[in-house]
């Protein structure tokens, strides 16, 4: 393989480092909040009072294509929010690294064509 473009390598290395860090805490899914009524018929939530909540859930598409999810306990809600955000950032960084890899391969391809056309090695 030919030498990579020295201008792109620092950017690629930084992205690879960030991807590794994000992958350690990334959590796949989307966050939603719900407010619910309880089972106590005399509770304010059954009248004009506010409902109970917010209750945090993470939903995702399972391996069989069906959307599923789970309740997030209050004690870990902030960590789960950060982990879902890390997943979305990871997707963005993977797209960027893919674009850099494509650019790198196109440069290699261009150099090979030029070398073949001139007959040099």
| Per-residue pLDDT tens digits for 98-117 | 999 898 888 877 777 666 55
* Domain of residue 101, residue span: 9-116
- What confidence tier does 120 reach under pLDDT thresholds 50, 70, 90? low
In a domain, 76, yes or no: yes
**Structural domain count, the chain:** 1
In a domain, 3, yes or no: no
Indicate the helix (H) or strand (E) that contains 67. Answer: strand 67-72
In a domain, 24, yes or no: yes
Is pTM beyond 0.85 here? no
In a domain, 50, yes or no: yes
Greater pLDDT, 97 or 6:
97
In a domain, 96, yes or no: yes
In a domain, 4, yes or no: no
């Amino acid at each position: 393989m030919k030498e990579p473009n020295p201008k792109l390598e620092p950017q690629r290395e930084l992205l690879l480092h960030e991807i590794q860090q994000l992958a350690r805490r990334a959590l796949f899914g989307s966050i939603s909040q719900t407010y619910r009524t309880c089972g106590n018929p005399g509770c304010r939530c059954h009248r004009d009072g506010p409902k109970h909540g917010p209750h945090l859930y993470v939903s995702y598409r399972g391996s069989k294509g069906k959307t599923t999810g789970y309740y997030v306990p209050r004690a870990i809600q902030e960590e789960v929010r950060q982990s879902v955000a890390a997943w979305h950032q990871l997707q963005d960084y993977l797209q960027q690294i893919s674009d850099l890899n494509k650019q790198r391969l196109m440069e290699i391809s261009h150099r090979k064509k030029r070398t073949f056309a001139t007959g040099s090695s």
